[in-house]
């Protein structure tokens, strides 16, 4: 009797398993599928040329190294009617500013001098470059309770929150150089494969020379 009913019992179990799993694949995930995005804006600032000291240029260069993309445009103005704000002085200042920026590791500087009538003795320098920042979608936000402890127990807020948003938002805020999110072109080329092979074979990362034998107290 038991053997006769066995196929029916197995069929019922399999059917119940299939039915119980029907809705699981269609249920929306509570984990965010948003990705960190690169946001491009334009940094376009005007300065009195004489006030662009080495310290000020160092600060501009630091922001560019951390957030800039592409060339930096530097334009110095002059007034042909002025006896002090001359084209020659603008050319001299442009060389000073661009050389200082290069000394602070801004390698790609596009230079020009611009006539600016009626500015008289005041020369201005316009520094422009593309600026990158990393951010999450504004609808992502922080987990309830992260900024306001009273929200931690709110079932409704937790139901609306996509888990993972807080970590990704904090990660985006801490990126030292957002341009790193673009990846590195040419990483898949053979020279990187050779570096990997060097590591595997114990010959060092940057060269083919074998590792030296460790000696001294640090090896004990």
Residue at token pair 């957030």: 67
- Identify the CA nearest to 38 among candidates 153, 141, 183: 183
Predicted pLDDT at 116: 95
Distance of alpha carbon 125 from alpha carbon 106, whole angstroms: 17
Predicted pLDDT at 142: 85
Distance of alpha carbon 57 from alpha carbon 62, whole angstroms: 9
Predicted pLDDT at 33: 80
Q: Which two tokens stand for residue 23?
A: 């809705």
How far from 61 is each of 16, 72, 76, 126, CA to CA, in Å? 66, 10, 17, 14
Output the pTM of the full model.
0.60
Q: Which domains does the chain have, with CATH numbers?
A: 42-133 (3.30.1330.60)
Predicted pLDDT at 141: 81
Contact 32, 162 (CB under 8 A): yes
Contact 162, 143 (CB under 8 A): no
Contact 39, 133 (CB under 8 A): yes
26 Cβ partners below 8 Å, 6+ apart?
none
Predicted pLDDT at 159: 82
Predicted pLDDT at 14: 47
pLDDT digit string (tens) for the chain, length 220 residues: 444 454 555 455 445 545 444 445 566 678 888 888 888 999 999 999 999 999 999 999 999 999 999 999 999 999 999 999 999 999 999 999 999 999 999 999 999 999 999 888 999 999 999 999 888 887 788 888 888 888 888 888 878 788 888 888 888 888 888 888 877 665 555 455 555 565 555 555 455 566 566 666 655 5
How far from 98 is each of 52, 130, 215, CA to CA, in Å? 11, 17, 49
Q: Are strands 68-78 and 109-115 parallel, antiparallel or unpaired?
A: parallel
Residue at token pair 């059917």: 15
- Using alpha carbons only, how large is the chain's radius of gyration in Å? 31
DSSP strand E in 1-99: where? 37-48, 68-78
């Amino acid at each position: 009797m038991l053997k006769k009913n066995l196929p029916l019992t197995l069929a019922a179990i399999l059917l119940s398993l299939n039915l119980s799993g029907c809705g699981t694949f269609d249920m929306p995930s509570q984990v965010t599928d948003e990705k960190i995005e690169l946001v491009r804006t334009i940094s376009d600032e005007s300065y009195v040329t004489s006030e662009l000291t080495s310290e000020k240029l160092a600060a501009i260069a630091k922001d560019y190294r951390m957030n800039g993309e592409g060339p930096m445009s530097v334009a110095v103005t002059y007034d042909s009617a002025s006896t002090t704000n001359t084209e020659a002085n603008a050319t001299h200042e442009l060389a000073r500013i661009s050389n200082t920026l290069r000394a602070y590791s801004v390698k790609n500087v596009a230079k020009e001098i611009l006539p600016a009538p009626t500015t008289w003795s005041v020369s201005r320098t316009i520094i422009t470059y593309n600026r990158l920042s990393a951010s999450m979608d504004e609808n992502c936000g922080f987990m309830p309770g992260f900024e306001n402890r009273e929200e931690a127990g709110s079932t409704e807020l937790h139901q609306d929150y996509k888990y993972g948003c807080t970590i990704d938002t904090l990660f985006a805020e801490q990126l030292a150089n957002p341009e790193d999110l673009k990846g590195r072109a040419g990483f898949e080329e053979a020279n990187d494969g050779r570096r990997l092979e060097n590591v595997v074979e114990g010959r060092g990362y940057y060269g083919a020379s074998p590792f030296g034998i460790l000696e001294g107290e640090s090896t004990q």
